[in-house]
Amino acid sequence: MSHSPRTLAPHLPSVADLRSRLDAALGDPARTWLDRATTAAAAHASTRAASTRATSAQTTSTEVATAQPSSAAQPFAPGAVPSWELCFAEAGRRCGPDHADAARLVLLYAARADTATLTRLYEQGTATERRAVLLALPHLVPGADALPLVEDALRTNDTRLVAAALGPYAATHLAPHDWRHAVLKCLFTGVPVDAVADLAQRARADSELARMLGDYAAERAAAGRTVPGDLYRVLALTDLPTPTDGDTPATTGPDHRAPSPDHPAPTGPDHPAAPAPFAAPSTSTGEEQES
């Protein structure tokens, strides 16, 4: 279920803008290759759409009411891989690693890749191909059907995938509980919270997120470990400022104050450390590098 309905974030670049930037940045061979690849992708999309229309036209009026033609059905021999998908895989070699994400997104958009196609490419792809699929979600999937891909990426220790998973698609569709844990995962793995789309909007007045951040800060402070600076940045966004000695609410004692550089968590036998709500994963960048 979506967190809340909303249109694409205004800061999300359009695919046309991405293509214009690619055309300006790529050399002639790479630009020519991308032209041919997007043409093949668009032709595949048109052929698939025509096949779907023909199949629908052959159903009876009764079947139309209940039939759900598979969006993954393709007018190709079983096992055949469309040429544009081969181009998707080799975009890093053709366009360079700095432009591979944008090139792949352009191809996915030209092919009008549906959720089934995106899922297959994600499951079969390298880390860089998976990242491109995640970045394409807000452009191609209007509903929450692709959330399993986001959830899978957030379970990995690959910081590239975690960052890509927390874009506008997750901001729109990820449930509050899962979103809060994703923000904490950024703190665990060192992913800058700048990667979290709509962070200020979703963190605002989120008292549960503030509690989780305070617990995590207290845990690290009690263990003598540095508290990530991004934690205090997110905590400030919750609109629940850390109380000071002069304005501590009557219902909140000093032992319950969210730790900060000015107010470290107390330690000692009278102040046992709070149990860790999470096991911090490693900061491995995971999987294959772009060739």
- Token pair recorded at residue 273: 């450390």
| pLDDT tens track for 5-48 | 334 454 678 999 999 999 999 999 999 999 999 999 999 998 87
Query: Quick one: pLDDT at residue 245?
Result: 43
Rg (CA), the chain: 23
| pLDDT tens track for 218-247 | 999 999 999 999 999 999 999 855 545 444
| pLDDT tens track for 113-140 | 999 999 999 999 999 999 999 999 999 9
* CA trace torsion 128, 133, 138, 140 (10° rounding): 150
User: pLDDT-based confidence at 50, cuts 50/70/90?
Assistant: confident
| pLDDT tens track for 142-194 | 999 999 999 999 999 999 999 999 999 999 999 999 999 999 999 999 999 99
Query: Quick one: pLDDT at residue 21?
Result: 95
- When the pLDDT of each residue in the chain is averaged and rounded to a whole number, the result is 80
92-108 average pLDDT score = 96
4 phi and psi angles, rounded to 5 deg: -165, 145
User: pLDDT-based confidence at 197, cuts 50/70/90?
Assistant: very high
Query: Quick one: pLDDT at residue 271?
Result: 45
Query: Quick one: pLDDT at residue 262?
Result: 52
Query: Quick one: pLDDT at residue 280?
Result: 40
Q: Does residue 195 or residue 241 have the better pLDDT?
A: 195
Write the CA distances from 194 to 8, 51, 167, 281, integer angstroms.
18, 43, 10, 20
User: What does the alpha-carbon distance between residue 197 and residue 175 come to, in Å, rounded to a whole number?
Assistant: 14
Query: Quick one: pLDDT at residue 219?
Result: 95
Query: Quick one: pLDDT at residue 6?
Result: 39
Task: Please name which of 252, 250, 257 lies closest in space to residue 274, comparing C-alpha atoms.
Answer: 257
User: What does the alpha-carbon distance between residue 207 and residue 192 come to, in Å, rounded to a whole number?
Assistant: 21
User: 10-14, 89-93, 97-101, 117-121 — which is least confidently predicted?
Assistant: 10-14
Q: Does residue 59 or residue 145 have the better pLDDT?
A: 145
User: What does the alpha-carbon distance between residue 74 and residue 87 come to, in Å, rounded to a whole number?
Assistant: 18
61-90 average pLDDT score = 63
Domain range list for the chain = 175-285
